[in-house]
Structure 1
Amino acid sequence: MKISIIIPTYNEEEYLPDLLTSIQRQGFDDKEVIIADAHSVDSTIEIAESFGCKIVQGGLPATGRNNGAEVAEGELLLFLDADSVLTNNYISSAIEEFEFYNLGIAITQIVPLEKGFINQISHEFANYMTKQISHIKPHGAGCYGILTYKSLHEKVGGFDENIDFGEDTDYIERIGKISRFKVLDNPRLLISTRRLEEEGLRDISMKYARSTAKQLVGRKATLEELDYSFEHGSKRKQNRIFYSLCGEGLGHAIRSAVVIEYLIKEGYDLIVFASDRAYQYLSNKFENVYEI
């Protein structure tokens, strides 16, 4: 049975190589890897190409997952985050348990990549709570390693792209209504603790607790309510800006360079369009400068 592994990405050059290497080492040949990239400005695309991945247009996670599923050739779909790593024999173990229980959708329990007492305890508690809540309704806060059939994905219309937070739990609930759901006992998925380190255990726990409580009573939490971002650390970007210098002289280009440098330092994702001498000057100083 062929499996399509779908990974949404945005500036994941630090983590993606470890995940793709762990996929290569699975000893499971009937697979493909699809990267749904949201305009990364680092080497994410080059890394994906070097591993022979199929690459499609991404966006927010729901959009990326849907775009990946659309081109998937596998009967099974496995949705992963880019900062995770597969344990040995992950794919074969997951499929074996999936088929044994005649499941339609499943998620994986997690183990922290970074060691430490707090990391270990917090992730074991997350596993425990996920399994307990699953007895009430299909649910998966965090939703690491979502495994389902492409036919079921298509039947429910994929991920709801109108939901900006909890779209994975909504997806699990909808497929869980028409098939069997389970939190897999084996294998487990290694995941990065970067969000835990960025936001702290208390804050991230409160966000997921609030989100879970709302979802259990049929309500949806939003990114704005939870102050949540899908981007991380120093690579977190604000809005993308398109900066154009059409027919402007060198003096204006030099003055614009000061503004552009400031915006980049402030974390904006900048695309610059320039012509003539302005293009020659700015393209030697900055990336993402295009001639018009």
Structure 2
Amino acid sequence: MLASVVVASYKHEAYIEECLETVYRQTFPDVELIIVDDHSPDRSFEIAQRLVKKKSFAKRFVSCSLLRNPLNLGAHYTWNRALSLAKGDMLFFLNSDDVFSKDRIRIFSSQYDNEKLFFGFSAVEPIDERGKRITTHQFPTSLRYAIDRARITGSPLSWTFLDSQIAASTGNFVLSRELLRRIGLLSDLKYCHDWEFALRAVTVVEPRYVESDRYMYRLHSTNSYRSLSNVAENETRACMSSYCVNAIARRPINRACLSPINFGEAFYKFLKLHPNFNYWVKQLYAPYQPDHRTVDWNEWTMPLAWR
């Protein structure tokens, strides 16, 4: 099996070398590395270029590519350009300021390489600007709590994605090539492109979770979530609209994801477990839902009864 690691790089000159070194040190042998720099104004591209030109570095990979966008085009375009070049059976995302554990690819490939449709992620360990573990930050605890809550209640993990992006980062995504072919590339969103992508993925296949910390997420002053949080509300609406189209307005491939077609009358009770989803469905789906006819069943869908 060939594993492709795609790296979207932008303005991370302090972290890009460490990031790429963790791909170099992977215990899995057959790895393809694709780096696309989004026209960084700092030395990110030059540092990556120097590393890639080292014979010992490039020789480790089945293939190693470094490209630069002609101008700054945004994260979604950069990810999509890298993905379009990937030839691997399993695709690993990686942010240019983050870090892989040395056995990340081996763990995912050994467990899931036979699954034609696959979408997964691991537990996240936050690190600081020096790469030291952060033990006081709440966000990994909140993500684990959301996942544990799903297990306790017996809810599919796909439901938890309706409340938030529980993988924490685009760089934590792992998926099969066939799933990418089914759901398409990332959408043109500045802040929530990863969440919208995940919501499309879970309508096709139930996500898998590796409990151990195999992705190190770096917290620093220039994290994109800090600078783009002002656009989150509008983009959240776009995410939920996308889910409505893929899971509610038509029959989803994943028969476990939350959908009236999958669960019938019980769907309206399940909504109460997900207040955010309840709110967005009420706004996005209710206005046209009573007049919607499903193509697959050729039956009138049941109007939403909000009490």
Common topology (TM > 0.5): yes
Tell me how far apart the structure 1 counterparts of residues 182 and 176 of structure 2 sit (CA, whole Å).
10
Q: How does 1:58-77 map to 2 (within 5 A)?
A: 58=69, 59-77=73-91
Distance across 2 between alignment mates of 1:22 and 1:176: 28
Q: Is the counterpart of residue 160 in structure 1 residue 181 in structure 2? A: no
Mapped to 1, the partners of 2:85 and 2:215 lie a distance apart of 25
- Which residue does 1:7 correspond to in 2? 7
| CA contact 2:125–2:213 (8 Å) conserved in 1 | no
Residues 112 and 123, structure 1, Cα contact 8 Å, conserved in 2: yes
The amino acid that maps onto 2:136 is I
Structure 2: runs of 5+ lacking an equivalent: 53-63, 151-156, 243-307
Q: Is 2:136 the partner of 1:118?
A: yes
After TM superposition, give the deviation of residue 49 of structure 1 in Å: 2.2
In the alignment, the residues of structure 2 paired with residue 85 and residue 185 of structure 1 have an alpha-carbon distance, to the nearest angstrom, of 17
Normalized per residue, which structure has more strand?
1
**Distance (whole Å) between structure 2 residues aligned to residue 122 and residue 188 of structure 1:** 16
Structure 1 residues 67 and 214, CA gap change in structure 2 (3 angstroms): closer
Paired residues of 1:97 and 1:184 also in contact (CA < 8 A): no
> Which of 218, 229, 240 is matched with 1:218 structurally?
240
Which amino acid is 1:127 matched to? R
Name the stretch that deviates more: 74-83 or 101-110. 101-110
The verdict on how the C-alpha distance between 1:42 and 1:130 changes in structure 2, with shifts beyond 3 A counting, is farther
Q: Where does structure 1 lack aligned partners over 5 or more consecutive residues?
A: 221-292
The answer for the alignment partner of 2:103 in structure 1 is: 89
**Deviations 1:117-162 (CA, angstroms, capped at 9, x unpaired):** 422x43222332356473515463433411111222122221112x
1:193 is aligned to 2:207: no
Counterparts of residues 1-292 of structure 1 (less than 5 Å)? 1-52=1-52, 53-58=64-69, 59-99=73-113, 104-114=118-128, 115-119=133-137, 121-129=138-146, 132=149, 134-138=157-161, 140-141=165-166, 142-143=168-169, 144-161=171-188, 163-195=189-221, 214=236, 218-219=240-241
Letter in 2 for 1:129: A
Partner Cα distance (1:137, 1:112) in 2: 21
Contact 2:158–2:207 (Cα < 8 Å) also in 1: no
Q: Would you say the 8 A contact 2:6–2:79 is kept in 1? A: yes
Deviation readout 1:251-275 (Å, 9 max, x if unpaired):
xxxxxxxxxxxxxxxxxxxxxxxxx
Over aligned residue pairs, what C-alpha RMSD do you find?
Answer: 3.2
Moved more, 101-110 or 36-45: 101-110
Q: 1:88–1:211: structure 2 CA closer, same or farther, 3 Å change rule?
A: farther
Distance 1:145 1:107 in 2: 5
- The structure-2 alpha-carbon separation of the partners of 1:171 and 1:37, relative to structure 1 and needing over 3 Å to count, comes to same
Q: What residue identity is the alignment partner of 1:82?
A: S
Letter in 1 for 2:65: K
CA deviation after TM superposition for structure 1 residue 192, in Å: 0.9
Give the whole-Å Cα distance in 2 for the aligned partners of 1:110 and 1:160: 24
CA separation of 1:117 and 1:54: change in aligned 2, threshold 3 A: same
CA distance in 2, matches of 1:65, 1:173: 17
Q: Is the 8 A contact 1:3 1:77 kept in 2?
A: yes
Secondary structure of residue in 1 paired with 2:240: coil
Task: State percent identity of aligned pairs.
Answer: 18
The 3-state SS of whatever aligns with 2:40 is: coil
Tell me if structure 2 keeps the 8 A contact 1:102–1:180: no
Offset at residue 213 of structure 1 (A): 11
Question: What residue in structure 1 maps to residue 258 of structure 2?
Answer: none
Task: Report SS of the residue matched to 1:118.
Answer: coil
Q: Which moved more, 1:5-14 or 1:129-138?
A: 129-138
TM-score between both structures, scaled by the size of structure 1:
0.62
What is the Cα deviation at residue 180 of structure 1? 2.6
Cα distance in 2 for partners of 1:127, 1:166 equals 20
Give distance in 2, aligned partners of 1:97 and 1:186: 14
Partner of 1:227: none
Distance in 2 between residues matched to 1:63 and 1:147, nearest whole Å: 18
